[in-house]
Every structure is written in structure tokens, then in C-alpha cells.
Amino acid sequence: MNNAIDTMNEQMKQFGDVQQRGLEPMRAFGAVAVDAFEQMTRKNYALVGDMIDYTVKQASLPLKGEGLNETIAAQVNESKAFAELMNQRSGEYMDLVNTIGGKFREASDDAAATIRDV
């Protein structure tokens, strides 16, 4: 009787181990997803800050009491600087997408290897 119980316990342990290995890819994808969410959220937060800064500058320029030509020139300069910043930000987003994509590919490769081993 003890032999049968030992065999059942061993089978249950093996079953638990198989389940654990089967869930491992989910953890890897979860970790990448959390990291991607954090990085994208922080990037979006920075972008919104840039937009707020630009908007406040644009709104305050006419209030400085300068002439119309000076105000327009300042607004144009601010717009050019903002456009350059947005170009830089778009490059940062592309770099981030490539990095995150690489992490997901790596997690996929690891998951495939884990599933083959299960």
C-alpha cells in the first residue's frame, strides 16, 4: 500500500513540476509586458510634459507685451523647437519599440524552448 501511495505522490509531484515549467513562459511574457508598460507610460508622461511646456510658452508669448512681429517670431521659434523635440521623441519611441520587440522575441524563443522541454 505504501508503494502505491509513494507512486501517486511522485506522479503528483511530477505533474506539479510539468505545470510549473508550462507556466514559466507566461511569467517571461508577463515580465516583458510589465516592463513595456512602464517604459511606454514613462515615455508618454515625458511627451505630455513637453506638450504642456510648449502650450504654456505659446500661450504666454502674447502676454509679454512685445510687438506683434516679435511675438510671431517667438512663436515660430518655439514651434520649430517643439517640432525638433517631437522628431527626437519619435526616434526615442522607435528605439523603444525595437527594444521591446526584441525582448518579446527573446521571450518567445525561451518559451518555445521551454515548451519543447515539457
**DSSP collapsed to 3 states, the chain:** CHHHHHHHHHHHHHHHHHHHHHHHHHHHHHHHHHHHHHHHHHHHHHHHHHHHHHHHHHHHHHHHCCCHHHHHHHHHHHHHHHHHHHHHHHHHHHHHHHHHHHHHHHHHHHHHHHHHHC
Q: Where are the domains of the chain?
A: 36-117
The percentage of the chain sitting over the pLDDT mark of 90, rounded to a whole number, equals 58
In which band, very low, low, confident or very high, does the pLDDT at 20 lie, cut at 50, 70 and 90? confident
For residues 14 and 96, which has the higher predicted lDDT (pLDDT)? 96
What does the pLDDT read at residue 109? 84
On the question of pLDDT at 118 being above 60, the answer is no
On the question of pLDDT at 16 being above 80, the answer is no
Average pLDDT rounded to a whole number, residues 59-80: 93
Torsion of CA 74, 77, 83, 86, to 10 degrees: -70
Average pLDDT rounded to a whole number, residues 73-100: 96
